[in-house]
Chain A
Amino acid sequence: MAGEVALSGAGARAGSRRRRRDWVMVACATFIVVIVAVALLAPWIAPHDPNQVDIVASHEAPSASHPLGTDALGRDLLSRLIWGARLSLLGPALIVVIATVVGTTIAILAAWMGGWFDGVTSRVLDILFAFPGLIFAILAVALFGPGLVAPVIALSIAYLPYDARVLRSVALRERNLPYIQACYVEGLPTSAITTRHLLPNILPFVFVQATLSFGYALVDLAAVSYLGLGVAPPTPEWGLMVANGQASILAGYPEESLYAGLLIVLTVVSFNLLGDRLATRFSVRAQ
């Protein structure tokens, strides 16, 4: 835990920072809100049908009707990017939800029951650490075929250990704190202690971990689509668009790949920075 101390700033510095508004965090949060809104409102704000092929309008430059131009098949790039936000954000969201829920449950159970259960789960999680997420996803696709389902489940399993590990140490630490001990003394049942006292105090850390994981999940899932093992064409999805656009780069039209890639980077940066800032806040508060 040594690194955290240095980065979160020793004592006094943390205090002075709290008084200045953190613009980075505001910007990231704003971007995330915007991109999620865009994804949700896609059917209403996208100017065109993202799959409408208009071969005559291939590779058009930006214009009034096509603000970002068109791709090789004449499809509107802006609409494809907007609709692409849906799948590109949905996948990682699913992964994060599953990994967090299952991971948190395991973490709390392990921290609570300790003993052999803790030992066994730690070993199992250690083994799962051995599988880089992407390899796991590829293995799943080889077994169950391409699409969204197999990679999402595989990545959820691959991300479990990270969530479980971090939350386990948090849970352990919380468990030993006086207020929890006090509950014991008062004779409260374990389930009540867990749900009413432990969980709410862990939630901030769960949230932080989820935010941090989102970025990795997005990158991994986009990579699966890029490799052609995810959703099939012509579905709009950022990773797939990067792959589709690659053929056009050599013809002198890198727009599709670059725009989709840029969106991926911006989204991941926002989630990473946000998660980072939140983590700092909570670890400071915890001290």
Chain B
Amino acid sequence: MSTSSQACGKARTGRIRLWEIVVLVAVLVTLATVVAGCGGTEEAATTSPGTGSPGDTLQSTTPPADGLVDEITWNLGYGEPTTVDPLKAGDYGPCFIASQMHDTLVRYTPDWKLQPCIAESWDQVDDLTLVYTIRQDATFWDGSPVTVEDVVFSMKRHMDPKTGSIWAAFYSYVKSIEQTGDWEITVKFTKPDELFNKEMGTVGGAIVKKDYVKQVGEAKYGSGENVMGSGPYKMVSWKPGQEIVLEANPDYWDAELAPKVSRVKVTFISDTSTVTSAIMSGEIDGAYGIPQTNLAALEAAPGTIYFGPSLTVVEVVPTNGDTPMGDPKDPDVRTALSMAIDRQAIVDNVFSGKAVLNKTFTPPSAWDPEAIDVYQAAYDKIPGDAPDVEGAKALLEGKQGLDKPLVMALAAGNEEELRVSSIVQQAAKDIGITIKLKPLQAMDLANVFYVPEYRKGIDLVMTWGWLDIPDPLDYTSLFFGEGALFNWINYRNVEVEKTLDKARQTFDPVERANLFCEAQSTFTADTIVVPLVNPYQTLYMSDRISGAPCSFAYMWIPGLAMLGGTK
């Protein structure tokens, strides 16, 4: 070891003349400028910040293709799942994977129409009774039939408080789920629930095999390779930190969705530059949620980018009720921050125009098509189309405790999140509030939402949230009421909770819309979250494949089975 110290001193340079150094430096600088100048400025110029909204053509489906393909690589842009158990699958990645492997009770089309799936048909007998008829030809990967017992078990798992299901809120009105015939299930409710059947098309209605779960144990199901589903793709291997490999299920019971891609390698790259490079180099064949900050560069990729309607909401959610920002009884600080932010600038500059600004908790894309006018009228009354810094500062006059910096968590390596967070940080600074950014690795960030310990030391979280289905009440069940999954500041408002409860019990869309808008005017004024934008759904597919769904419904339907080769 002693020799290395001698070596350290030995890097002598001998005779160098000054002019040589100067020339070399000049060459370097020129190279740098030339190289920089040669950058894709042409492409960048054409995709200048546009105004996203009305003119854009959004599509829910992509051109079908029916060639057979051996293997593709698909990327989960939000990082590796921690589990694919429907009970705990709460993030983009876990839901997507779980949906390829498990069938749901009912199934959505890409444009949100409900169709039969494991349930052959359903009948809302009366306001409090829902009867499902289960199909008889569905089978799990191991060949065993999907029985009514399996379905009842899968549904009841979510209701057991011990399992801590994140879908429990959607079962909260259920009184009982019983087998009432060879192939029949009856669900009885304590109160009418217009949400329930719609939620059965999400992972909350995914069907697992009872005996298998009992065998591996509830705690282990869904982690690693411990999965048994009936879906078109089966789990072959899961190498943590590396990849998940899925294989086509040759005996899938739904002939229309027979998979054409034999193997899918799923990677978990969440770093914006890395994903972009991987797509451009052809390493990745498909991905949802591609980095919208690099759309210009991605136009040169060997594939196509599609835009579709999405239920994603970009928002800032307060996690700490002990700060002026998170005070459940005083919304002024949050409201001030919301007023100071220029949402259109975020749309234009971070999302390259491929998004719509959002002024409230639930985005316009979630409105019930049958009651759009009601929702629109209410939405128009909400402020937030343009920033109002003066008004924000006025709101903060006399507030105490604003000098303590707040910590905002966001995804590390994610350029979109970094930019949005920086804009929020600057807006806060403009009105006298200090926000510090805390980038977290993908898995840590995902845990912030579901595990209380991870929220220690954090006051705000930059959230790419979403609604599961196009129904605003889907989101409200997660934020309102005591112990609601994302109600970390413990916001309580009895009026709002009652109105929303009533809305959930109303089957008529217009009536429901009216009730919802009533509650909305209150909770929007209370700024339970700081809403920002509603990005479009993005989908990239390389030239080799086509056919995947392009709306947010991709989260719940086995889109990989809709892929085919283009050759």
Direct contact of A and B (CB under 8 A): yes
* Chain A residues within CB distance 8 Å of chain B: 1, 3-4, 7-8, 23-24, 27, 51-53, 55-56, 58-59, 72-73, 122, 126, 129-130, 161-162, 165-166, 212, 228, 232-234, 244, 246-247, 249-255, 258-259, 262, 265-266, 269, 272-273, 276, 279-280
B415 within 8 A of A: yes
A254 to chain B: which residues have CB within 8 Å? 35-36, 39
B219 to chain A: which residues have CB within 8 Å? none
Say whether A27 contacts B294, CB under 8 Å: no
Say whether B439 contacts A228, CB under 8 Å: yes
Say whether A262 contacts B28, CB under 8 Å: yes
Q: Residue of B at shortest CB range from A253?
A: B39
The contact of B21 among A27, A53, A59, by CB within 8 Å, is: A27
Say whether B9 contacts A258, CB under 8 Å: no
Say whether A23 contacts B5, CB under 8 Å: no
The segment from B202-210, B232-240, B421-429 found at the interface with A is B421-429
Query: Nearest Cβ distance between residue B298 and chain A, in whole angstroms?
Result: 8
Chain B 1-17 interface mask (CB, 8 Å, partner A; 1/0):
11011101111111011
**Assuming A247-B293, A258-B35, is B12 touching A232 (CB within 8 A)?**
no
Sample 17 A-B pairs with CB under 8 A, ordered by A number.
A1-B6, A7-B14, A24-B21, A51-B426, A55-B342, A72-B415, A129-B5, A166-B5, A166-B9, A212-B8, A233-B439, A250-B276, A250-B277, A252-B297, A253-B44, A254-B39, A272-B13
Chain B interface size, under 10 / 10 to 19 / 20 to 34 / 35 or more: 35 or more
Say whether B294 contacts A233, CB under 8 Å: no
Say whether B10 contacts A3, CB under 8 Å: yes
The segment from B128-136, B345-353, B394-402, B526-534 found at the interface with A is B345-353
Say whether A276 contacts B11, CB under 8 Å: yes
B29 to chain A: which residues have CB within 8 Å? 262
A161 to chain B: which residues have CB within 8 Å? 5
> What would 19 more interface pairs be, CB under 8 Å, given A247-B415, A259-B32?
A1-B6, A27-B22, A53-B423, A72-B415, A73-B423, A129-B1, A129-B5, A212-B8, A228-B412, A233-B437, A234-B425, A247-B293, A250-B276, A250-B280, A251-B293, A252-B39, A252-B40, A253-B36, A265-B28
Query: Nearest Cβ distance between residue A266 and chain B, in whole angstroms?
Result: 7
Query: Nearest Cβ distance between residue B435 and chain A, in whole angstroms?
Result: 10
B296 within 8 A of A: yes
The contact of A23 among B10, B18, B426, by CB within 8 Å, is: B18
Say whether B5 contacts A162, CB under 8 Å: yes
B273 within 8 A of A: yes
Q: How far apart sit A254 and B33, CA to CA, in the bound complex (Å)?
A: 9
Q: Residue of A at shortest CB range from B5?
A: A165
Chain B 288-327 interface mask (CB, 8 Å, partner A; 1/0):
0000011011000000000000000000000000000000
Say whether A130 contacts B1, CB under 8 Å: yes
Q: How far apart sit A27 and B17, CA to CA, in the bound complex (Å)?
A: 11
